[in-house]
Chain A
Amino acid sequence: MVLETVPVEYYMVLSAAVFCAGLFGVLTRRNALLFLMSVELLLNAANINLVVFAFYWGEITGQVFALFVIAIAAAEVAIGIGIILVLQRNFGDVDVTDATTLRW
């Protein structure tokens, strides 16, 4: 099996790298759609961990939970796109830094 040759730590490094890439995107992107894609990266980083460790622990809970996470991510995007659509209609752009009518 693959896992016998690739140590489990490597997968954790991979998922941490994907998580950091997503976090970087979340913090720097001004376009709301790119923000959504970055959140997908964050969720998929968690999915890598869940699937790898389901294999590592020899049980199926993590894999099933990864499927749940994928389904919820889809629902979240559906809501997000809806909100971005009304953002575009009200502010004429999908730049998240445009919406600043409410301040301290």
Chain B
Amino acid sequence: MIAGGLALAPAGAFVLAALALFVIDAFSPGKTSGGVLAGVSAFGAVGALAASGVFLLSGAASGGIELFGGQLVVDGMSLLFTFIFGSVTALVAVASFDYVREMPHRAEYYMLILLAATGMSLMASANSLAVAFVSLELASLPSYALVAYLKGNRGSVEGGLKYFLIGALSSAILVYGISLVYASTGSLLLSDVADAAGEAAATYPGVFGTGVLMIIGGLAFKTASVPFHFWAPDAYEGAPAPVSAFLSSASKAAGFVLAFRILLVGFPIQSVVGAIDWVLVFQILAVLTMTIGNFAAATQERVKRMLAYSSIGHAGYVLIGLAALTGVGGASAGATVLGASMLHLLVYGFMNTGAFLFVALVEHWEIGRTFEDYNGLARQAPLACVAMTVFMFSLAGLPVGGGFVSKYYLFAGAVGAGVWWLALVGAINSALSLYYYSRVVKAMWIEEPIEGRTIAHYPTALYAAVLTAAVVTVFLLPGLVVFDGAAFDAAAALL
């Protein structure tokens, strides 16, 4: 057991690194060396990663530690997700060293990333609707600014604008949903909401059901699930590629952890089913999100946009974790499929971040964005292309990386919970996704190289980040076992 305040050490590491950057940059504003900025950010992120990893694997927080009168809770799930945020932030901070090297406002860039990561780790611990909303905004507001970071670039500004407009609308819908739930239950604390939920669902089914549905809508925005996915392709394509990596991996995981906790702790399905059957809602969302994401990805001509749609498709796979909580097969079947969702987000944090960072590398070389521009790239940058091949095949679910194991758990878990048709839709979509992922691989390795393309230098930090992500992705194929127990225990604790 760890002492109260120490349990928040992972979030504290993010905050301290952000504040340290404030102080460091105050000495000579705008002139601090990129190495110091990236180093402090990566140090803070690795601190968060190490602290959450140690707490998680040592079982120090098993059973959950409640802080601030139950407003925050540190348990297996929050630590597992903080571990994801820490690893993604560390990779992004290292990769950004090369990417933003020549750009103004670098210190602000790193600070915004760290503050968004703080918001995400608080989202993972939020145990009341008030904290959920405040931490969600703490994660969102820096993200809007980060997407529009290249302020002279039309794509970046447009992506930021669309992200902001849809984000502002969704957070307003979320807070209205919270107000309706408060109206019918009289509390914002998730455990108290759960106590009052059964009565509220019976007495005011309309108000309570609408409130829950609006909260689900607000969370669907954060996870880029259909029908709140419209911002995602534009924001991911327009944003600087490291920011796309950060948003599509960490920010999506943060949305999911919040959804898991609010729905499972605050609105237990057996007491709210009279007003709103959210399992059914998530079944519809999962099928739509998987199918629309994958079909749209298959029609893209630009690699980054393809990855953006594929990231929507992966949100669909993770939604199976909530959609399969039908009660068939008992609590253990539910814990298996929910734990599999968490594991998929963990693996996804590495393989998807790596894929977007490879795009960052290509953007750094300024050799174009379409599949054709990648032709024959393997002759000039073989090492990076091996890494990209690993990411693509792991995303598709082939057994070269952890993506295979987590998808296997997910689909097997869905079958075990009696929703075999969800697993079937998922498997069909995975097969389709192999088509567009292998297009990238084919372009890099098989097509003839483009004439006259030269790559002047190979940025060390970007390479380090891409290769680290690739090594971890491969390692997670046999090594996901390390996190298995923690994830399934965390899931079982919620059910």
Contact = CB atoms under 8 A, between A and B. Distances in A.
A42 B157 CA distance: 25
Contacts of B169: 26, 39, 42
Interface string A89-104: 1110000100111101
B133 interface: yes
Given A46-B179, A52-B183, 18 more contacts: A35-B165, A36-B168, A61-B130, A62-B182, A72-B134, A72-B137, A76-B137, A76-B141, A79-B141, A83-B160, A89-B151, A91-B154, A99-B157, A99-B158, A99-B161, A102-B155, A104-B233, A104-B296
Contact of B158 (A39, A47, A101): A101
A31 to B, nearest CB: 12
Interface string B127-162: 000100110010001001100100111110111111
Given A39-B168, A42-B172, A75-B137, A65 B188 contact: yes
A90 B391 CA distance: 35
B394 interface: no
A68 B133 contact: yes
Contacts of A68: 130, 133-134
Q: Which 4 A-B pairs have the closest CB atoms?
A: A42-B172, A49-B179, A57-B186, A99-B158
Contacts, number: 124
Q: Mostly helix, strand, loop or mixed at chain A's interface?
A: helix
A65 B237 contact: no
Query: Which bucket holds chain B's interface residue count?
Result: 35 or more
Given A76-B141, A79-B164, A86-B157, A53 B179 contact: yes
A21 interface: no
The bracket for how many chain A residues form the interface is 35 or more
A15 B207 CA distance: 13
Given A46-B179, A49-B182, A76 B168 contact: yes
Main secondary structure of the interface of B (DSSP, over half): helix
A96 B165 CA distance: 9
A76 B171 contact: yes
Interface string A53-79: 100110101101100110010011001
Q: Tell me which of A39, A96, A99 has the highest count of chain B C-beta atoms within 10 A of its own C-beta.
A: A99
Given A36-B168, A61-B188, A69-B133, A102 B178 contact: no
Nearest to A72: B137
A86 B148 contact: yes
B89 interface: no
Interface of B: 130, 133-134, 137, 141, 144-145, 148, 151-155, 157-162, 164-165, 168-169, 171-173, 175-176, 178-180, 182-183, 186-188, 207, 233-234, 237-238, 296, 299
Nearest to B130: A65
A43 B171 CA distance: 9
A69 to B, nearest CB: 6
A98 B393 CA distance: 38
Contacts of B148: 82-83, 86
A87 B176 contact: no
